[in-house]
Copies of this chain bind each other. A is one copy, B any other.
Amino acid sequence: MFSAATYQNRRAVLQSNVRNGILLFLGNIENPVNFEHNPYYFRQDSTYLYYFGIQEPRIAAIMDIDENKTLVFGDELSMDEIVWMGRQETLKEKSLKSGVSETLPYASLSQYIIKALASGRKVHYLPPYQSFNKILLADLLGIKITELQPSEAMIKAVVNQRSIKEPQEIVQIEQAVNVSNEMHLLAMRLAKPGMKEYEIANAIQYFAANKECQMSYPPIVTINGGILHNHYRLNTLQEGDLFLNDSGAETSMGYAGDLTRTFPAGKRFTTKQKEMYEVVLNAFNNAQSLLKPGIRFKDIHLKAARHLVEGLIDLGLMKGNPEDAVKNHAHTLFFQCGLGHMMGLDVHDMEDLGEQYIGYTEEDPKDTQTFGLKSLRLGKELESGFVLTVEPGIYIIPDLIDMWQAENKNSDFINYDKVNEYRNFGGIRVEDDFLITDNGYRLLGNGLIKTAEEIENYRAEHLA
């Protein structure tokens, strides 16, 4: 946990921004795997972590703005539970570390809410994402789950606050990134033809676990990098394959890292692979250089798209005017997703609160229709204190090629004959994590090798 003052200050800021009513915070539970008492590992809700820092299932909290008091709700262990689970720090003690002196039993939460509602007060809450909390919220408020109406005022206030990372949060994120760096180097030392994808995924997870880290998301560790959300890990690496590793660690305080590297399953990139890698890396470097407060991330995204198009024209896969190609979204045959996203206590930071609030503004809302842009999680102007990923890529998706070609889509910009020579190419992504500073940006963590040459040299050094 951070200091009690940290949580008190954060809550004071939130209180001053929402101004009235009751702010209700629900912690997460231990979710059952195949029966109630066989749970997945516990992960506290990120907003609860941010304002209270208490890592404990089945707790809640109320900030009563009208009455200027804060309470943590939860049950202390019974004697029966102490026999089973041992003596532990009490919830009272944990709450004090969060700067909250008043704790009440979990069951009192309902009374508190009923009383507040009865006196016509506003109860603010965030959108629940775990089903347990959907049921709980509906019960507490005496409405149906379909009638739940999360508080826009609370969402906006939380998003504004959590978007700007504190120095101590940056320290945490850099810890996560540095563990992630090591995970990636380990993968580069291990991976070779004949291995299964899952062996590498398991090894990096083991490494992180020994650093007391969870995975911040299910790793994508695959020879089919063209499949964007690929969690199948039973393939065997073969000479000539490209290996894509998108994985990151999460510190025990909940902060995420998120990195991607793509490298040859054998010792060297083929010429085709290296050419394509340079295209992606060039787009990455250009995007990185543009990071600074005041620039729209959507514009950086579109510039990265343009750099990808220019590279693909050089390689003969695309043609025509690059600017027009991007305007017509022709790049989305190769770059179907977004250039990056906010990162912090969640790998897609605050995604549970709604992408529109995190990544866009009311004046410049998200494009939820256009293929490509609808997958761009962050579009708005950057601010000093934002932490985000930059992750351009080129993904060859045979089904998508066939679909477009059948419609002759964007044929002014795409050389389908040439593209079809790359059908089994796979995918390349390069991803790092950045802090936006007053003057520009700072790469988070100690840095991880990235050029084709660095990667080939590292692998030549370490592969038997």
A135: Cβ under 8 A from any B Cβ = yes
B-chain residues with CB within 8 Å of residue A336 when the two chains form the complex: 83-84
> Counting CB contacts under 8 A, is A106 at the interface?
no
* A46 neighbours in B (Cβ, 8 Å): 34
Question: How big is the A interface, by class?
Answer: 35 or more
Contact flag A346-B43 (CB < 8 Å), given A135-B131, A210-B199, A227-B86 = no
Query: Is A33 a contact of B43 with CB atoms below 8 Å?
Result: yes
Asked if A34 contacts B45 (CB within 8 A), the reply is yes
Q: Residue of B at shortest CB range from A42?
A: B231
Q: Are B131 and A399 in contact (CB under 8 A)?
A: no
Decide if A31 touches B31 in the complex (CB within 8 Å).
yes
A198 within 8 A of B: yes
* Bound: A46/B345 CA distance, A: 33
Q: Who on chain B is nearest to A353 by CB?
A: B35
A40 CB contact (under 8 Å) in B31, B226, B232, B351: B31
Query: At the interface, yes or no: A209 with Cβ under 8 Å from chain B?
Result: yes
A75 proximal to B (CB < 8 A): no
Q: Which of B28, B34, B88, B228 contacts A43 (CB 8 A)?
A: B34
Say yes or no: A86 contacts B32, CB within 8 Å: no
Interface hits, A215-250 → B, CB 8 Å: 217-218, 224, 226-230, 232
Q: B346 near A34 (CB under 8 angstroms)? A: yes
Contact B229 A84 (CB under 8 A): yes
Q: Is A272 on the interface with B (CB-CB < 8 A)?
A: no
A39 in contact with B135 (CB, 8 Å): no
Q: Copy number of this protein in the oligomer?
A: 2
Q: A403 at interface (Cβ–Cβ under 8 A)?
A: yes
Which B residues touch A36, using CB under 8 A? 129, 351-352
A37 touching B351, Cβ below 8 Å: yes
Closest B residue, CB atoms, query A337? B84
Question: What distance in Å separates the Cβ of A230 from its nearest Cβ neighbour in chain B?
Answer: 6
The answer to whether B209 and A205 have CB atoms under 8 Å apart is yes
For window 23-69 of chain A, which residues contact chain B by CB distance below 8 Å?
A: 28, 31-41, 43, 45-46
Q: Is A399's CB under 8 angstroms from B198's CB? A: no
Interface status of A82 (Cβ within 8 A of chain B): yes
Q: Among B37, B82, B202, B228, which residue has its beta carbon within 8 angstroms of that of A206?
A: B202
A464 on interface, CB distance cutoff 8 Å: no
A170 within 8 Å of B by Cβ?
Answer: no
Q: Cβ of B397 and Cβ of A218 under 8 Å apart? A: no
Tell me if B145 and A135 are in contact (CB < 8 A): yes
Q: In the complex the two chains form, is A85's CB within 8 Å of B35's CB?
A: no
Measured CA separation A38–B129 after assembly (Å)? 11
Chain A 406-428 residues near chain B, CB threshold 8 A: none
Cβ of A132 within 8 Å of any chain B Cβ, yes or no, is: yes
A140 / chain B contacts, CB cutoff of 8 Å: none
Known contacts A38-B348, A86-B224; is-contact A210 B202 (Cβ 8 Å): yes
Q: Give the complex CA separation of A34 and B400 in angstroms.
A: 31
A-B pairs with the 6 shortest C-beta distances?
A131-B131, A86-B227, A206-B206, A35-B352, A202-B209, A131-B132
Q: With A86-B232, A203-B206 given, can you name 15 additional A-B contacts, CB distance below 8 Å?
A: A32-B352, A34-B43, A34-B45, A34-B346, A36-B351, A37-B348, A38-B217, A38-B346, A40-B41, A41-B218, A79-B399, A85-B228, A86-B224, A131-B134, A135-B135
- A residues engaging B (CB < 8 A)? 28, 31-41, 43, 45-46, 79, 82-88, 129-132, 134-135, 145, 198-199, 202-203, 205-206, 209-210, 212, 217-218, 224, 226-230, 232, 254, 336, 345-348, 351-352, 397, 399-400, 403
Provide 9 A-B residue pairs closer than 8 Å at the C-beta atoms, listed in order of the A residue: A31-B130, A34-B254, A35-B129, A38-B348, A41-B218, A88-B232, A198-B212, A205-B206, A206-B209
